[in-house]
Amino acid sequence: QKKKPQTYKERASTCTNPLVQQLYKIMNLKKSNLALSVDLQNSQQILQTVDKLGPHLCIVKTHVDIIEDFSPQFTTSLRDLAAKHNFLIFEDRKFGDIGKTVKSQYEGGIYKISSWADIVNAHPVPGDGVIKGLKEAATGTNKGCLLVAEMSSAGSLAKSDYTKGAIKMAEDHKDFVIGFICQSRLIDDYNFVHMTPGVKLSEGGDSLGQQYKTPEEAILKRGADVIIVGSGILATDDPVQAAIQYKEAGYKAYEESLKN
Ligand code: 5FU
C-alpha cells in the first residue's frame, strides 16, 4: 500500500541520511523543488546566473567538463554562492567505469569533484563497484550519489530489469546512494530522492532526443521530488522570472501531491 505523502519538513525529520535531511530542509525553507541545470560554458556567466537565480533553487547542477575557462577558483566561488543562497551542488558527471577509475575521476584530475560537489551521479552499468569506488573517495564527508536509473532521452536502454537492478543497488548502499535520476517513482521511501530531468513548461523535445514533460507531470504523475530544468530557464529573455515560474509550478504540484 502507498504511504501517505509527507511534507518536506516531515521528510527532513524522518530521513536518516544527513545530506537528504539537509536537502529537504532547504526545500522546506525556500519552498522550492527546483534544480537549475546551469549548462553554460563560461565560468563568470555561470556564477552570475547562479547568484541571480540562487534564491529560488534547492540545487545547482553543473557539467564542469563543458566549462571552457575552468579554474579551481570557479569551484571556490560556486561554493561561496552555495553558502550565500543555501543550495546544494550536484555535478552531473555520470560516472560509469570500474571502481578504482571512478575513484580517481571523482577526487583527482583537474576538477577534483569530490572537494566541491555535494552530490554526484553514476550509471549502474558497471555493477556496484562504481558506488564502492566513489564511496571510498567520499569517506568521512557529507556527500551522496544518485544512480541514473532511467533517462529522459528517446530510446534509453535504462528501463525494466536495468532499472530494477539500480533500485537494488541503491538499497544495498543506503549510506551513500541518496536517490535516483529517473522518470518515474521507483521506491516509496523518501530516503531516496527522485530527481527528474527533461522538464519544461511546454512539452516537446529537442533535435537530439531530449523529451520534455511539465513540472506537474513530473511531480504529480511521475512522483518526482526534485525537477531539473536547464534550457526552460536559461534559454529565455528573463531567467529570473522563468526560475520563479518553475519554482512556483513545482511547489504548487508538490502541495497538490500532499492531498493524495
Ligand atoms: F540523466 C539525465 C537525463 O536523463 N536527462 C537529462 O536531460 C541528465 N540530463 C541532464 O539534464 C542533461 O545533461 C542536461 O544537463 C539537463 C537537461 O537540460 P535541459 O536544457 O532542461 O534539457
Question: Could you give the ipTM of this predicted complex?
Answer: 0.99
C-alpha cell at 258: 500532499
- Say which residue the cell 529537504 belongs to: 24
Nearest CA among 181, 179, 131 for reference residue 156? 181
Per-residue pLDDT, 166 = 98
Q: Provide the whole-model pTM.
A: 0.98
CA distances from residue 93 to 26, 112, 117, 122, 173 in whole angstroms, order as listed: 23, 12, 10, 7, 19
The predicted pLDDT at position 186 comes to 98
Q: How far is the centre of ligand 1, averaged over its atoms, from the C-alpha of 1 (Å)?
A: 32
Q: Among 64, 148, 152, say which to mutate for ligand 1: greatest number of ligand atoms within 8 Å of CB.
A: 152
The tens-digit pLDDT sequence of the chain (260 residues) is 567 899 999 999 999 999 999 999 999 999 999 999 999 999 999 999 999 999 999 999 999 999 999 999 999 999 999 999 999 999 999 999 999 999 999 999 999 999 999 999 999 999 999 999 999 999 889 999 999 999 999 999 999 999 999 999 999 999 999 999 999 999 999 999 999 999 999 999 999 999 999 999 999 999 999 999 999 999 999 999 999 999 999 999 999 999 97
Binding-site positions for substrate: 39, 61, 152, 210, 230
**Ligand 1 centroid to 257 CA: how many Å?**
24
Q: From atom 9 of ligand 1, which residue's Cα is the shortest distance away?
A: 197
pLDDT of residue 235: 98
At 3 the pLDDT is 75
What pLDDT is recorded for position 4? Answer: 84
User: Quick one: pLDDT at residue 1?
Assistant: 57
> 59-62 and 34-37: which strand pairing?
parallel
Q: Point out the ligand 1 atom lying closest to the alpha carbon of residue 151.
A: 4
210 CB near ligand 1 (under 6 Å): yes
pLDDT recorded at residue 134: 98
